[in-house]
Amino acid sequence: MIPVPLVVCVLGGWCAVYLTDSVLKSSGKHRNSYEAWLGSHGVTLSPFQLRWQTTMFNRLFAYCARINPHALYLWFSSGVVFGVVAMVGSVVLLARTLQQTLAQMTSDSPRMAGQQALQVVIPGVNLPTSQLLYFFSALLLSGVIHELGHAVAALREQVRVNGFGMFVFVVYPGAFVDLFTTHLTLVSPTQQLRIFCAGVWHNFVLCLVALGLLFLLPLLLFPVYSTGGGALVTEVVQGSPADGPRGLSVGDIVTGLEECGVSGAEDWASCLALLSLTPQTGYCIPAASLQPSWAHGRAYKRLDGSMDCCSNNSLTDLCFSYTSPRDKEKEPLRPQYACMPVRKMVTGTPVCRRDADCLAQEHAGASVCVTPSLENQTRFIRVTHPPNTHMLFVGYPPHLQYSVSLTNFVPRFTFLHLDLPVFLETFCKYVVSLSGALAVVNSVPCFALDGQWMLNALLEATLVSVVTDRQRRELIGFFLLLGGSALLAANVALGLWMVTAR
């Protein structure tokens, strides 16, 4: 469901804008000056859309179009190749996404859910409110670069640019260029294709640039930030399993989860996934300390079939299961249980899977492999973050993952901000995803998108000798656009339903 506060804020904001606009336009004193201000600044207001248009960037576009005409010709010709390939690829991608969405709706398979190629993004629903600045900034940058491509390509093909503008539709920002339609219709279909494909081509290039920066970020920040020495904690959710006096704190460097080494944030996630899928790790404990403690009561079976022997619900004690060395010769082996202080028992203790693993340790024959007796899917995990003592976690591993935010970058100097690499990394990720999404969506042969004009120009450039009748070419284009529009609409509708209804 869409959060009610978000809807209230959006509707309230637009109501305030309309109310102010209506009051000023109905005022006899301020009406003329208000309308004159709107006209001089290129501002227009329509239902749920605010537009601003200017000519101040026309000289910049003209300068870019004159830099190197031959290089620009090769550049935008490459954009035509990409645009045609992207048009076909976008249709294939949307068809595959639609098939996967329908399969997910009928089977509710988590595996299929992870294979979904495209996803509708709704702020406050499947986009965290803390990420809104990244999202809108990356979306606006992608839109500006997209329209920059159209403007420079148009001027290179001798098509006049009337102006450049930005808009806000509901909450989504965007950009546009106003081309002189008469000039556009006079150029050849191949020239039109270079203009129409320039937007998605620039989005694709921006996606590659952001992706390159994302991979080169450790190298670019190497003089001031180090990587590979652990995962730096940047945020701990209050009241979470990782919070507390002996939990994790901002600035801690996590180097391991049990025997799984952590050199970065990706290792943290992969180690937790591995620990949640593998059996609980055991610990080599001296056999002399394994005297069953009946002070807590006799071991009893939980509802899930596991055993517990700590009946006092102590936060410092944990029930361990083991096989007594004296019972090795007996068949069948019956596990015994002992309630022991967990931190004392496992601090600095080597891990094991069975008693044989303890033979190679210092206390060779005197050690026994003990395993925490826990409920299904619950794990006991030692989190290593030197120089502090281990953080001990008992629970469901994904809960630990969602409790902590980490980064790969550790500042070399104390005055450096911990969140700077996180900001750059997150912003690059959003630019990659949103600029790539704009390249895909605008390539779809759909009404009102770049794909419509790309398809029409492509048909005019390729089918003139095959289908000589212009009306037939337009009819072919109409049905292709109708199919592409239906495919895109079906993906958006089902995507919205999947996001908001579940």
Q: Over the stretch 31-64, which tens digit does the pLDDT of each residue have?
A: 999 999 999 999 999 888 999 999 999 999 999 9
Same domain membership, residue 392 and residue 304: yes
Domain region containing 95: 58-219+424-492
Look at the block and give the residue holding tokens 């900001």. Answer: 423
Same domain, 24 and 70: no
Task: Give the model confidence (pLDDT) of 336-357 as tens digits.
Answer: 888 888 888 888 788 888 888 8
Residue 411, domain member (yes or no):
no
> In the predicted model, what is the mean pLDDT of the chain?
88
Answer yes or no: do 312 and 267 share one domain: yes
**238 in any annotated domain:** yes
500 domain-assigned: no
Residue 46 located in a structural domain: no
Is 305 in the same domain as 391? yes
Ramachandran angles phi, psi of 19, nearest 5°: -65, -45
51 located within any domain: no
pLDDT over threshold 70, residue 497: yes
Residue 221: pLDDT above 50? yes
Q: 362 an active-site residue?
A: no
In a shared domain, residues 213 and 249: no
Q: Which of 147, 157, 425, 460 is catalytic?
A: 147
- Specify the number of domains making up the chain: 3
Residues 148 and 111 in one domain: yes
**Residue 25 is inside which H or E element, if any?**
helix 4-26
Considering the domain architecture, whether residues 110 and 25 belong to the same structural domain is answered as: no
Check whether residue 28 and residue 70 sit in a common domain: no
Question: Do 259 and 393 lie in a common domain?
Answer: yes
Q: What is the CB-side half-sphere exposure of residue 323 using CA atoms within 13 A?
A: 12
* Whole-Å CA distances, 256 to 105, 346, 448: 39, 15, 52
368 and 297 assigned to the same domain: yes
On whether residue 439 sits in a domain, the answer given is yes
- The reply to whether 209 and 242 lie within a common domain is no
Q: Are 29 and 128 in the same domain? A: no
3 prior amide bond cis, ω within 30: no
In the predicted structure, residue 437 carries a pLDDT above the cut 60: yes
Residue 156 lies in a domain: yes
The verdict on residue 176 lying in a domain is yes
Q: Which of 397, 413, 448 is a domain's end point?
A: 397
